[in-house]
Structure 1
Amino acid sequence: MHTRDMAKNPTTSSALLVPILASLFFLLVIVVSLSYDKVDYILPIRIFEHQEQVETRSSSTSVSNQEAECDLFSGRWVFDDETRPLYSGTQCKYMHDEVACEKYGRRDLKHQQWRWQPNGCDIPRFDAHELLTRLKGKRMVFVGDSLNRNQWVSMVCMVESIVSSEKKSMIYNGSLLSFRAKDFNASIDFYWSPLLVESNCDDPVLHRMTNRIMRISIEKHARQWTDADILVFNSYLWWKKPGMKMKVLHGSFEDEIENLEELEMAEGFQLALKEWSNWLELNQNPNVKLFFVSLSPTHVWSESPFRIVTLLYSISKLRMKVDFGRGDEWGAASDQNCYNETEPIHEEGYASRGSDYKMLHMVESTVAKMRRKGMSVQILNITQLSEYRKDGHPSVYRRYWVNITQEQLAEPSSYSDCTHWCVPGVPDAWNELLYSYIVSQQV
């Protein structure tokens, strides 16, 4: 069309101007987004080596001196259909339906047959009898959110098959779930505490609050695990909510008038970590083994300036499909998430846009301060090894506690769970790493 024709037709001119301006704005935000990623996501993860003297008990169960010096969290996934899976997901008596992928129709089970192989050393072969022997007369408690419960379910399934039916039990008591192996007088528990500190999300069933409120106190929760011999904490998912603020309650949840202060989520997370570390410093038995599990990555879309612009671009009627995936990170379509993924990511050092490494560094900084005060805390850094496992999520193969709409059913990726993990699967490797520390210490 000639210039004079465009001048005569202002509607056409405006229609062409919109995509040009949108494209310029789009490119600008991409540049900003890329620089944002470099700051927040590509920072190296510092590993804190555990300082305890390793006691070599036997070649089959102990971590050797070479292994103790090795970075267990740096390595690769090796396909191993001879020793994996470590147990049957359909036969585990205490499996949870939200992670029971095989039960809910997943037929490709290759995700169960990958073994984590650290660079330069080996993880001790998991031995359920050895673990329960170490836990004889003891209590291990996983404290945190649904990802920590995911790991707990894995651990229970890894050990329960060697205990006869009449010698094991599961007790459900609100936020506390307790597996007991009677012959060993051992308990492996999970306690629901998604923000670590007291909050309005503490109900084990009714906890999906859009208006999240925390109280900077851990006393109420700590009463449930003060007698534990091993504590495995986590907290991340409930702080990773784009656009949401955290409200801090000054006072009690029972007060008629609530005194609330609004903070950014990251600020709230920092306060929770401070309260957690202070309480442990003042109250915890120094003989208790403390672990903090690092952030568990997702393989689904995340809020970012890039995605906001994509949405605006779509709204401007330029007929561009909105991106609700992150498949472009591993060579798939940009709108692809974990749905139908059957292979790990093999790119060494892969780090997704969706993982907030700033929050991991907050944990590292907190733990470093605790260690300088003489406290023994080990970060179980499962982040990098889990980043590779886009194939390990339940996707649509799980029980959903709300009805799936016809629109969602027509597009399975729209309701895929790309946050939790199939069991057997990735959490088994987390527990093998935990086991490595337990058998290398005097537990």
Structure 2
Amino acid sequence: MNNRSSILTIEKFYSAYLDNERDIFVYLPPGYHQDLGKRYPVLYMHDGQNIFHPAFNGYSWQVHQTVDRLIQSGDIEEIIVVGISNMGAERSNEFTHDLDGVRYQDDKVDIRPLGETYEKFVIEEVKTYIDVVFRTKPEAEHTALMGSSRGGQVTYHMGLRRPDIFSKLGIISPYFYYVDPVTLEEYPQYHTFTGLKPFSRIWIDLGSTEGILVMEKHVREVAEKLADAGYEPDRELLYLYEPRAGHVEKDWAARLASPLIHFFGGKGEECFLSLDGSSEVGIKGPACRVNPVLESDHGLRRTLLRANYEVQDESVLEVREDGILVPKKEGETLVTAQYEGLRAGKTIRVVPEIPERVMLDIIVHVPADTPDDIPIYAYFPLKHDPVQRAYVNQQHLPLHTEFVFQVTRTDGRVGADRNGVIIEHRYEATADGTLEIDVKQWY
């Protein structure tokens, strides 16, 4: 008797709306073939070729492993997961809606917005097929949608446009702004919706180490607009700002359990509160906030959008309920976050001024056999400097920007050490400085 989950592949699924075809992947839970009268909630995910299988970078969401584990532990009910493959070069077009506020004309790539057509494809072609072929619970209350990066952007737009289809939205590391890497000018890529829609669950998150691609202030901006629209923060609307997480499948996989539990599980017992975020704020300078992270016994992690704060010395600073620090005078004081009997503290220092931006000089030394005409990147594009015999860049960055990167070439080769081990570099913009890297060989 089969009591294991399975993954089916529907090859070359044709879309009449988009006039293209792609593979669809379907995860069926362990009990699907046991009780033939039972129906199941469904989670639809964009970029489906990466959710069960490795992406081009070798990483996968490993969705089946996480769902299996959570079902086995009883933390979520059994669900069906549908992965909808993207179309490669067409991904940016299909994931972009032509809506007020979406400045796709100013995006980093040329965009031909097909978001509404892609939306029809998912709802009227994919979902219709899945509901006919598999034993689903087709109602909105049992249907979730999830995606990351541009997939987070299209999840946000599709979900808020069609609450009659989706009642649970997983908006992961969403691409809500394009930030020009040279000028740091910001171009919004999302529409602001007004009015409360009948959602039961919204999850929105990002990692602290996503560079200027996905920034905390932008994602939090959208989360606050959703709260202002009437979605109850820390109940219906959950948010997570995950320390040290980057913009990559392995980090999305690491926190996948949290939105799944939010959608398909119970509250659990909240057992631990920590307080991350800024430890220094300037009387002059950018806004800073603390990040109270609440953990439950079944593994759900979330940042509290609203917490109660105590400040030991209120003459030094105040803390708004959204975690923003409001400095008053130089000094330091203990700030304590509280939530339903749990407490966590952090000492905050107030200084006269902190900079909005810092300057980073990047210097990369490469092997002598490196072709002079091949572009090289260290997160940012580098220029060849024959005087230093190196590749360089000078970059202004917003304070506290963090990113993880490898030194790469446009032909796909990556910087490695003497033993051929690819080196991953991590940087945080805390002060002006120089990042000097010595690539021993290309792998």
Global fold match (TM > 0.5): no
Higher strand proportion, which one?
2
Which protein, 1 or 2, shows the higher relative CO under an 8 Å CA cutoff with sep ≥ 6? 1
Higher helix proportion, which one?
1
TM-score, scaled relative to structure 1: 0.29
